[in-house]
């Protein structure tokens, strides 16, 4: 199999690429991988350095909105795993335009190219944020979409487009929706890498509002393994939630990060809450568990300890990124 991975130089996409080329996923052994990435501020070829010499890997610098480029790439591959997206909520609050252009228009361009090429398989990677906020219980895949940020609204739009291309054109599309990811190579504007890198440098960290917002944490290895399962065995036209099973308030998460870095609450600055900040996310993973045998395998305590150590050991990776993004 030959797979085109859009956004494959980003945090989650690069993890999928590295693990695929390590033959970590049943059914994808020996697969070739072509990465298509525009290398915007959060894309980083260093994320792919561990596999850069693999004869099964190639890289194309380009934009998913470029139909001419897509028409040269799509006929050469068997499947697309579509990670490419603008994803930072705070940036979408400040300016939503690039989120609509990349996440909605870019996905439409990619789907159209897939149709023209006769692509065999398309996996669209999305987020639990499209469901909105839930006070109790967990969302299943039938939950109506109620996104509350420009980012999640743009992802909801791309999800609906992907589903429509299955319903209208019969394109073999499956959609995944994940909870909050963490792991190595995570761009340091997101909460865990931002807090860890600030704290190990004796800098303060910003905590939104009262810190009562709840998220379900999913190790990136578990997430990309779930995506691989959907690519290999997921049903066309279906949606699969992928969760980690560890719900924490931001206060609880902050305490864990303070403990892990040997700091106290004097390093935490309470800041004004984010506009439209969802209180709680929680996904029901019964469907992917029953159909494909998925289970999250990385215990959160171990995963978090490993991530903190990774950032301690890889300063040369994250320092330039923080400087470039002025974090």
How is domain 191-215+246-276+299-325 classified at the CATH fold level? UDP-galactose 4-epimerase; domain 1 (3.90.25)
Average pLDDT of every residue of the chain: 95
pLDDT, tens digit (0-9, with 9 covering 90-100), for 274-289: 777 888 999 999 999 9
Assess whether the region 2-182+219-242 and the region 191-215+246-276+299-325 belong to the same CATH fold: no
Give me the residue spans of the domains in the chain: 2-182+219-242, 191-215+246-276+299-325
**Confidence band, pLDDT 50/70/90 cuts, at residue 189:** confident
pLDDT of 162 strictly over 60: yes
CATH architecture of 2-182+219-242: 3-Layer(aba) Sandwich (3.40)
**pLDDT score, position 325:** 67
Q: Of 236, 219, 119, give the one whose Cα is nearest residue 167.
A: 236
Give the integer Cα–Cα distance in Å for 218 and 250.
15
Task: Identify the three-state secondary structure at position 204.
Answer: coil
Q: Tell me the average pLDDT across 292-301.
A: 98
Long-range contacts of 49-57 (CB under 8 A, 24+ apart): 50/18, 51/17, 51/18, 51/21, 51/22, 54/21, 56/21, 56/30, 56/31, 56/32, 57/17, 57/21, 57/32, 57/33
* Percent of the chain residues topping a pLDDT of 70: 98
Q: Of 191, 7, 238, 192, give the one whose Cα is nearest residue 110.
A: 7
| DSSP-assigned letter for residue 283 | B
pLDDT, tens digit (0-9, with 9 covering 90-100), for 82-104: 999 987 676 777 878 888 899 99
pLDDT, tens digit (0-9, with 9 covering 90-100), for 105-159: 999 999 999 999 999 999 999 999 999 999 999 999 999 999 998 999 999 999 9
In this structure, the chain runs to a length of 327
Q: Are 195 and 205 in contact (CB under 8 A)?
A: yes
Give the integer Cα–Cα distance in Å for 38 and 8.
10
Phi-psi region of 172 (alpha: psi -120 to 50; beta: other; left: phi over 0): beta
Q: Are 160 and 154 in contact (CB under 8 A)?
A: no
Return the CA Rg of the chain. Answer: 19
The catalytic residues are 128-129, 151
């Amino acid at each position: 199999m030959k797979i085109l991975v859009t956004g494959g130089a980003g945090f989650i996409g690069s993890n999928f690429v590295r693990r695929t080329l390590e033959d970590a996923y049943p059914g994808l052994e020996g697969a070739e991988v072509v990465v298509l990435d525009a290398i915007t501020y959060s894309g980083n070829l260093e994320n792919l350095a561990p596999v850069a010499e693999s004869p099964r890997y190639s890289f194309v610098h380009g934009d998913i909105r470029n139909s001419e480029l897509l028409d040269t790439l799509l006929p050469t591959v068997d499947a697309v795993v579509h990670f490419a997206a603008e994803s930072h909520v705070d940036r979408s609050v400040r300016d939503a335009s690039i989120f609509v252009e990349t996440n909605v228009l870019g996905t439409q361009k990619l789907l159209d190219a897939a149709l023209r090429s006769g692509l065999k398989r398309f996996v669209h990677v999305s987020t639990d944020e499209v469901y909105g906020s839930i006070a109790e219980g967990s969302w299943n895949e039938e939950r109506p979409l109620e996104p509350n940020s420009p980012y999640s609204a743009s992802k909801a739009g791309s999800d609906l487009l992907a589903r429509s291309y299955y319903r209208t054109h019969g394109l073999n599309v499956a959609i995944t929706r994940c909870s909050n990811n963490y792991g190595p190579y995570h761009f340091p504007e997101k909460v865990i890498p931002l807090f860890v890198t600030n704290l190990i440098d004796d800098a303060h960290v910003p905590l939104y509002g009262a810190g009562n917002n709840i998220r379900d944490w999913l190790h990136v290895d578990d997430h990309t393994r779930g995506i691989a399962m959907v690519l290999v065995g997921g049903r066309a036209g279906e949606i699969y939630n992928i969760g980690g099973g560890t719900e924490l308030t931001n206060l609880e998460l902050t305490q864990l990060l303070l403990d892990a870095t040997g700091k106290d609450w004097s390093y935490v600055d309470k800041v004004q809450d984010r506009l439209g900040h969802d209180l709680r996310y929680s996904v029901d993973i019964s469907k992917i568990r029953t159909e494909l045998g998925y289970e999250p395998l990385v215990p959160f305590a171990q995963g978090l300890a490993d991530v903190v150590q990774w950032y301690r050991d890889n300063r040369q990776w994250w320092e330039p990124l923080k400087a470039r993004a002025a974090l």
